[in-house]
Structure 1
C-alpha cells in the first residue's frame, strides 16, 4: 500500500519494550497453594501436617456422614475428593509462626532449634509440604535483631540437619509499615544467603499488607525488594483495626478489605507477585454438629468471596478450616471446567461456542482457570 512516511523507527522503543517484558511478565500458570497454614513455633512437631489432616478428617467423619449431608453444607457433592485430600496432602503451605501467633518469649532460640529439627524430620519422612517456611517478627516491633536472629538460626538448623535447603522455602515478613523495611530486609537476605553459601536470590519472601499506609507504597515494593518479593498476603485483622473498624466488622468480606485487595491486584499482580487473602479467626464454638457446620458455612462464604475477587489462596488457622477450604475451592475451580475447555478449544479452532464471542484476554483467563482446576485434580 502507499504510505506517507515509509518505515519509521520509534526512538527508545526497544528499551521501553524490554522494560515492559521484564517488569510485566506473562501470567504465571505454575502451581500456587490454595492456603497457608500458620502454626505457632512452640506447637510445631514433625507430625503437624498429618495431625491437622487427621483432626479435619475426624470432624468430617463425625459431622458429615453422607454425600447428601456434605451437599447440604457446601452446595455440591465433593465429599470423596475432600476426604482424599485430607488423607494425602492436608497442608499445601506451612508457615512456622514466630510473630502474633507466638508472641514474645524468652525461649525463642530454643523453639527455633526445635522447629528446624521438626522441619528436618518432616523432610526425612517425605511429609514436608510443597511450600514451607517461617514468619519472623516484624521490624515494626522495633527489634529487627530478634527477627534476623530467628531466621538465621532456623535456616542454619534446617541446613545442618538436612544438608541443604529443600525446595519451597519462603519467609513471611509481617507488618511492613515503612517502605524502607523492604530494602533493609532484602539487604539482610543478601547477607545471610552469602553466609550460608546459598545461590543468589534463592531466598525469597512474602510481605504482609496489614495497614493502609502499606497499600500506598505497594507500587514500589518489587523494586525495593531487589527482586526477592515473591508474594503479598493480606492481613485482615490488623488492616481493619488500623481502619478503625469495630471488632464485629473485622471480616474478610468487608468493603474496606475489598478495596485493599483490589489495590494489591492493581499494583502487584501484573509484576508476577502471587497474592493471598487472609483468614477467619474462629474455630467451631463447640464440638456440637450444628456449631461445626455453622463454622464451615461461614468459612466457605469467605473463601468463595476471596475466589470471586481473584484471590486463590488464603490463610487457615484451625484444622476445621481445611474441610471448608478444599470443599469450596474445588467447587469453584471445577464448576465451569467443561464450559471453559470447550470455549478455549472453539477459540483455538476459530469458531464460536454457544454464541459467545470470546476476546483473547478472556481466553487467557479461561486458560489460567483451567490450569488451577487441573491443579485441584492433581494434574501438574
Structure 2
C-alpha cells in the first residue's frame, strides 16, 4: 500500500464543513406518520363539533350518492375511516378562505377558534392555523392573529396540540421565511413553545428566483429547522403563471414543473410534500357528483404515484374519494412491495436486482400504507411497523 496513512486525517479536515452541512441540512426522512390530506376550513366556520359534522356529511354522501369509482371491497374500510377519523389534518384558515375583515372581527375569530379547538369533542392527529402572508399589506394582521390565538389558547390550556403547525401562504422570498422564523423564536420565548410551520408555494418566484436559483431550496434553509412541509397552491400558482381559469389544474405542466422542483428541494431534508386541491366539488346532480368523484380520485392517485402523499380537501364529500383512492393505491402495490422486500432481505434471485435504496423505498411504501389505514398488520407478511421503520 502506497497511500500515506495521513491522508485520512487530511480528508476529514478538508471535508469537515461538507460533512456537517450534509448531516444537518439533509438528515433524511422525518419519522412518524404523515397525514394523507389537509382539510381547510374558514375560521368563521370552524366550531368544536366540526370533525364529527364533516364525518357525518361524508358518510351521508357515500351512502346516498353514486357509487365510488373504486372496488366495492373498499367501501367498508372507507366507511370505518369516516366514522373513526374523517379528518387527519385540520387547518383553521385565516387567509383566502376567510378573507380581509375588520381587525376587531378577526381578533374575535382568532379567540373563538382557540376556544372552539380547545373544547373540540374530537381531536385530529394534526392541526394548525393558516395565517395571512408576510407581504407588506397583511403581515401585521397575520402576526396579530397568531398572537391573539396563542394568548387565548394558553389562557385555558397548558399545551398546544401535538403536531400543531402554522401554514405560511404566498411566500415569494427566503427573507420572508427567515423573518417568520425569527417571529416564531419570539413567540417560543413568550409562550414556552416550539412553533413549526409549512411553506405554501403559490408564486413563480418561490420556484425560480431572479438570480436563476431554485428559491424553494433557499427557503428551507431560511426556516432554520422549523419548516415541516411544502404545500403546493394550485390556483394561485397557476394564475400567477398566466394560465386561463379553465385550464388551471393540479396536472397542468406548470404545476408538474413546480412540484418537481419542490420535490428535489425537499429530498432528504425531512420536509414533507403536499399537493394542492381541485375546486371541482362533488355536489349537485348524481352525474355531477360522479364526475367530480372520478376526477378527484384520479388526481389523488396521480399525486401518490408521483410521490406526493398528501393533498388538500375542501369539502366533506371529497373525503370518501380521498381515502378510497389512497387505500386503493397502497393495496394495489402492497403484495409486490412485500414480496420484493422479503426477497431482498432473504437474498433470493427474483429477476429484479433491488438495491438498498429500493429496499428502503419498499419498506416506506408498506409503512405508509399501514399508518394511513390502507393495510392491516396481517397483510404485511410478518413485517411489523417497527421493523419497517427500522428498514
TM-score where L is the length of structure 1: 0.92
Task: Structure 2 unaligned segments of length 5 or more: list them.
Answer: 209-214, 378-384, 386-391
Shift of 1:6: 4.5
CA distance change for structure 1 residues 368 and 29 in 2, over 3 Å: closer, same or farther?
A: farther
1:365 aligns with one of 334, 357, 361:
361
Q: Secondary structure at the match of 2:143?
A: helix
Matches within 5 A, 1:266-277: 266-277=264-275
Shift of 1:76: 5.9
Per-residue Cα deviation, 1:239-264 (whole angstroms, up to 9, x for no partner): 00011000011000111101100000
Q: Distance in 1 between matches of 2:138 and 2:251?
A: 33
Per-residue Cα deviation, 1:269-312 (whole angstroms, up to 9, x for no partner): 221101100001122341x2222121110111111111111100
- In the alignment, which residue of structure 2 is the partner of 1:283? 281
Matches within 5 A, 1:230-379: 230-286=228-284, 288-353=285-350, 355-377=351-373
Q: Does 1:179 align with 2:174?
A: yes
Q: Does the Cα contact within 8 Å between 1:25 and 1:272 map onto a contact in 2?
A: yes
Per-residue Cα deviation, 1:82-132 (whole angstroms, up to 9, x for no partner): 00000000000000000000001121011111111110011xx3x111110
Give the count of matched residue pairs. 364
Shift of 1:19: 2.5
Q: Does the Cα contact within 8 Å between 1:211 and 1:242 map onto a contact in 2?
A: yes
Per-residue Cα deviation, 1:151-181 (whole angstroms, up to 9, x for no partner): 0111122222222212110000000022211
- In the alignment, which residue of structure 2 is the partner of 1:212? 204
Alignment RMSD (CA, Å): 1.5
Task: Structure 1 unaligned segments of length 5 or more: list them.
Answer: none
Q: Distance in 2 between matches of 1:173 and 1:369?
A: 29
Q: Distance in 2 between matches of 1:25 and 1:114?
A: 38
- In the alignment, which residue of structure 1 is the partner of 2:99? 103
2:135 aligns with one of 130, 133, 140:
140
- In the alignment, which residue of structure 1 is the partner of 2:29? 27
Q: Does the Cα contact within 8 Å between 1:333 and 1:376 map onto a contact in 2?
A: no
Q: Does 1:162 align with 2:178?
A: no
Shift of 1:185: 0.7
Relative to structure 2, which stretch is displaced further, 233-242 or 299-308?
299-308
- In the alignment, which residue of structure 1 is the partner of 2:18? 16
1:130 aligns with one of 125, 133, 136:
125
Q: Distance in 1 between matches of 2:195 and 2:342?
A: 39
- In the alignment, which residue of structure 2 is the partner of 1:115? 113
Matches within 5 A, 1:23-102: 23-64=25-66, 69-70=67-68, 73-75=69-71, 77-102=73-98
Q: Does the Cα contact within 8 Å between 1:183 and 1:225 map onto a contact in 2?
A: yes
Q: Distance in 2 between matches of 1:58 and 1:174?
A: 33
- In the alignment, which residue of structure 2 is the partner of 1:153? 148
- In the alignment, which residue of structure 1 is the partner of 2:211? none
Q: Distance in 2 between matches of 1:103 and 1:360?
A: 48
Relative to structure 2, which stretch is displaced further, 133-142 or 316-325?
133-142
Q: Does 1:197 align with 2:189?
A: no
Q: Distance in 1 between matches of 2:315 and 2:75?
A: 19
